[in-house]
Chain A
Amino acid sequence: MNQILIFCNMNKEVPVHILEKYPAGKRDGLIPILMEIQDEKGFLSEEVFQEVGRYLNIPANKVYCVATFYDRFRFKPAGRYLIQMCRGTACYLSGSTTYLDEFVRQLKVSPGGTSKDRRYSLEVTSCMGACDSAPVIRINDKIYSRVTPEDLVRIIRSLKEKTE
Chain B
Amino acid sequence: MEKSIETIWKEGFLKSDALVAPKLNDLYNQKSKNIVDKLVKIFKINLWGVLALGLVFWIIAYFGGVPIVGAIFFILFVILVVYGKLKMDKMGELNKNVSTYEYLKAVDTWLKGVMAGYTKIYRLFYPAFFILTMVGLWFSNIGDIYSEKLLYRFPDMNMLFGMPVYLLGFIAVVSSLLAIFAGPIYKLDMYSVYGRVFGKLDDIIADMEELRKE
Does A pair with B?
A: no
A contact set with B: CB distance below 8 Å: none
B contact set with A: CB distance below 8 Å: none
